[in-house]
Amino acid sequence: MTFTQYYKPDDMSASVPEHLQTDEDLQQQIMDINLLYSAAIREVSTKLDVLGDDFRMKHSYVPIHHMQSRLKSFESLMDKAERYGIEDPIHNLDTVRAEVFDIAGIRVVCNYREDIYTMSELLLKQSDVDLIKIKDYCKNPKPSGYRSLHVVISIPVFLVNSKTTVPVEIQFRSIAMDTWASLEHELKYKNKGALTEDIQKQLTQCAKTLSDVDEQMERIRHQVF
């Protein structure tokens, strides 16, 4: 038997502004968020892992190519809360938690486009999983060309003395969709968010080309199996 180290997401309190690090009540609230949301990431990742394993046993095929997860940093959580118009978010963390659904985020990269729907449906069928919202940018791509299925679910997390329902945002994508989103994000980030209209147009065209390839690969798959 091999023992693997349990993956634990980053410590959120690492990004708390220095002048607030002496506020004990705030520290406790941030530690609670860190514990709950990182636990929720592990719960949902395990569910998806188990589904993948069972799929392999039953169909000799694994629909998930790979998964990534992240806990939003405190700094980026506060930035988002301000964009959402929440006043004094640092002292209103309950409101922040009620309105920001992607504190816990998981990205599920599937081999084929149809695997996205297979995996998301299997997850949503589970009795302890509740759907909060779903946005299908595969069927309705963003103007940029971005494609993915965004699903926000909530699941219960059990602690020593409590049970809390925690939201988790899951982005389901095909490998081709992930290729585009990763490279486009990198290009935007490197250019500080400003890409010319012409570059954006070229990127949107690339997204369309990759989507055509996805469709073609799916057809080939059906011919082979």
* Interacting residue ranges for ligand GTP, rule: CB under 6 A: 102, 135, 142, 144, 146, 150, 181, 184-185
CB of 28 to Mg ion, least distance (A): 27
Among 43, 44, 102, 168, binds Mg ion (CB under 5 A): 102
Contact by Cβ (8 Å): 149, 120: yes
Q: What angle do CA 17, 188, 13 make, to 5 degrees?
A: 20
CB of 102 to ligand GTP, least distance (A): 6
Q: Report the alpha-carbon distance of residue 47 to residue 155 in Å, rounded.
A: 11
Which of Mg ion, ligand GTP, none does 185 bind, CB closer than 5 to 8 A by kind? Answer: ligand GTP
Window 49-88: contact mask with Mg ion (x via CB under 5 A): ----------------------------------------
Q: What are the phi and psi torsion angles at 222 (to 5°)?
A: -70, -30
Contact by Cβ (8 Å): 166, 129: no
Q: Report the alpha-carbon distance of residue 199 to residue 205 in Å, rounded.
A: 10
The answer to the question of residue 43 lying near Mg ion (CB under 5 A) is no
Q: What are the phi and psi torsion angles at 4 (to 5°)?
A: -110, 145
Window 149-178: contact mask with Mg ion (x via CB under 5 A): ------------------------------
Q: Which is nearer to ligand GTP, 66 or 185 (CB)?
A: 185
Q: Which is nearer to ligand GTP, 92 or 144 (CB)?
A: 144
Q: What angle do CA 115, 200, 182 make, to 5 degrees?
A: 40
Q: Which residues bind Mg ion (CB under 5 A)?
A: 102
